[in-house]
Amino acid sequence: PKCTVEIFGNGMEYDLTVYASAFAKSVELSFPGEEVYLDKNYFDITGKAPTRVRLTTRRMTSLEKLKRIMRIRTVYDLGTEE
């Protein structure tokens, strides 16, 4: 399934809304190179209702940078990665 994320916030605290085009199992969000805390790390999305995730960074990080480095994976992606 295709997953998309909306990110709102600034500085060190952000709210993420994660959407999926269909059922998505074990969605994982990562931000390579940044120390972040997510209140949910692996979660399922039914495809009907988005999941909200709270993100806190250890230092000031721009919204643009988080959007640029964000990676989204699901169980489905594990079988398709090279």
Predicted confidence (pLDDT) per residue in 38-70, tens digit: 999 899 998 789 999 999 999 999 999 999 999
What mean pLDDT do residues 13-29 have? 95
Looking at residue 81, its pLDDT comes to: 59
Percent of the chain with pLDDT over 90: 80
pLDDT of residue 50: 94
End-to-end CA distance of the chain: 18
pLDDT of residue 26: 94
The C-alpha angle 11, 12, 16, rounded to 5 degrees, equals 100
More confident residue, 9 or 81: 9
